[in-house]
Amino acid sequence: MKNKQLYDKINSVIIYMAQTTIVFKISPNLKKKLIEFYQDRFESKKPPYSVFQVKDIDCVTTLYESGKLMFQGISADIEASYWIEQERILNNRNVSEDIARDMQKKDAKKKELLDESFKFISTIGSDEVGTGDYFGPIVVTASYVDIKNKFMLEELGIKDSKKITDDKIRSIAPIIINKIPHTSYILHPKEYNEKGITNMNKVKAILHNKVLYSLVSKDNFDYKKIVMDQFVYPKKYFEHINNIKDKITNITFTTHAEDKCLSVAVSSIISRYIFLLEMDKLSEELSMPLCKGAGENVDKQGIDIVKKYGFDKLKEISKLNFKNTDKIKFALNFK
């Protein structure tokens, strides 16, 4: 049955590719060839986290640092077809199957987002920021959203912080912080490195439990559910906090919680706001705006920082167990 569904999806790729956008991940052995092919036509300005963008009359081609390759426009199918064929020849890879699987995932996500079980109840929710950033801290927040505040929050345009610009977060977060009960915790890079962290999911579980317990202990909030984005299976989550004395266990785990539950979205925004403020402090201290994420631009900036301030500075501002550290060491011949 699953195979039939997949083949049906593959057949529908023909229709998908006739539309305006085609997206797939380019294989590493084709990335250099791709860049060389387009390099004479690179736009001077490119989207965030992209390697390059090329704009032709009937197609826009963008390669992202993640390896995602996007074709948009009337001739997207024609432009993409060459690279799809190269994948088949060089890697024995059927990109149509990959696209079909992506379509299945998107369909599943759409169904999940129809879940409105948290929409009309008061909830406590938690969310974190910074776990994918080499520079800066990890910030986790738990918030209580009374259903009475639903209209006010929706008027502010509350949604997952990843879908809101940093400028808007800087404008609306102070309003939310003043009106919504919450607890936040900042795990600074120095402390993160001293703990010798190897399992990010365990760190997240411990910090989520920490802020949830702290918030619930503050007051007798009238909430119906405690909601958390499912970043790990519930059984594993509770294994991570098994040895902690004070813990919250009545949690509802759900995927895409930040899109379904206002308290999670609020926690996401507050965490992002605090993260931005912390990054501002570090940027001022270093006299350079620190890059977010963990891409090639971060590697280059890390090299510049070590050259200017020494390797010990990375211990204070970055998460040393990220692969970026090895790349920086290799570029500077550090052992």
- The Cα-based distances of 128 to 120, 215, 315 in angstroms read 23, 15, 21
Q: Which of 117, 113, 20 is nearest to 61 (CA)?
A: 20
In whole numbers, what is the pLDDT of the chain averaged over residues? Answer: 90
Assess contact for 223 and 252: CB atoms under 8 A: no
Dump pLDDT digits (tens) for 257-304: 998 899 999 999 999 999 999 999 999 999 999 999 999 999 999 999
Please give the backbone phi and psi of residue 113, each rounded to the nearest 5 degrees, phi first: -70, -10
Question: Is the Cα torsion angle 221, 225, 226, 229 positive or negative in sign?
Answer: negative
Indicate the number of domains in the chain: 3
Q: Exposed, middle or buried: residue 287 (CB in 10 Å: 0-12, 13-18, 19+)?
A: exposed
Same domain, 74 and 156: no
Residue 244 sits in a domain whose CATH number is: 3.30.420.10
Q: How far apart are CA 257 and CA 235, in angstroms?
A: 18
Residues 226 and 317 in one domain: no
Top-ranked range on mean pLDDT: pick from 10-14, 58-62, 208-212, 228-232: 208-212
**Strand-pair partners of 63:** 52, 69
Evaluate whether 115 touches 234 at the Cβ level (below 8 Å): no
Distances from the Cα of 120 to the Cα of 151, 224, 226, angstroms: 11, 10, 14
287 vs 112: which has the higher pLDDT:
287
Last residue of a domain, one of 113, 144, 175: 113
Residue 199 lies in a domain: yes
226 exposed, middle or buried (CB, 10 Å; 0-12, 13-18, 19+)?
A: buried
Q: Give the domain range for residue 305.
A: 292-331
Is 287 part of any domain? Answer: no
The reported pTM is: 0.70
pLDDT at position 18: 43
> In this structure, are 130 and 265 located in the same domain?
yes
DSSP helix/strand/coil, 251: strand
What integer pLDDT is reported at residue 20 of this predicted model? 74
* Predicted confidence (pLDDT) at residue 204 exceeds the cutoff of 70: yes
Q: How far apart are CA 324 and CA 312, in angstroms?
A: 15
